[in-house]
Amino acid sequence: MQKRHPHNPNLTLIEGTEWNGLPLLRKHSPYIEQYLEQILETMRRSVDRYRRTTALRIDLRIPVDSITPDSDVISRFFASLQAKINAHQLRKARFEQRVHSCELRYIWVRERNTAHHRHYHCCLFLNGDAYRHLGSFIKQEEQESTRNMANRIRSAWASALGYSWEESQGLVNYTRRGIYRVDANSPSLWGSYSGLFKRLSYFAKARTKVFGSGKNNFGCSRR
């Protein structure tokens, strides 16, 4: 069943636990169909580019007592993270280590479940031959803050907010079972692909989206 979104008639709401043959999370209906379409397209582009893709589910929190950041904060985060990935690739090349290219792709959704709990849900898509793990969440030395993907992510979010490393403590949540690996050459491709889509269908749920503020609720990489 389809109907128009009451706060944005350009968006279509769908009910149910399946969409175009793909599973949806049972308890979060209705879903915004246009967001589901963009999630699927971003997944397709990621796996077409990197036959082995690593997908990371993370949450980015806005400090409760901070001034609301401008609408470009999420764009700054992705730009900063790509720059850190590029720098890591250059360091590997200087040490004559094998380097796999990694063009970051992503999906994000902005939500607010209470007036004081603003956050972004994100999924990052990486070349699975280059990055398979987050690494340790604990930074030992300041100069080590970008030595693994977990710390690159935290450092990029701190940079986007204009925060120091110390101020960013607790602002990135690496979600439970948040690492997905999709191998286009594997016989289990459909299971991993549909499982990831089902997890990401959460991004398309209509509830907790904020309309009328002039800010986008949802976005994804364009390439």
Query: Residue 210's pLDDT is what?
Result: 65
Could you tell me the two tokens for 27?
A: 């308890």
User: Is there a contact between 79 and 96 (Cβ–Cβ < 8 Å)?
Assistant: no
Query: Residue 65's pLDDT is what?
Result: 75
Query: Residue 213's pLDDT is what?
Result: 56
Question: What is the CB-side half-sphere exposure of residue 26 using CA atoms within 13 A?
Answer: 0
Domain count, the chain: 1
Rounded distance between C-alpha atoms, residue 175 and residue 55, angstroms: 12
Phi, psi of 91 (to 5 degrees): -65, -40
| Structural domain span for residue 197 | 2-220
| Residue numbers of the chain with a pLDDT score lower than 70 | 1-2, 5-9, 113-117, 136-146, 210-215
Rounded distance between C-alpha atoms, residue 174 and residue 167, angstroms: 17
Could you tell me the two tokens for 58?
A: 């993370």
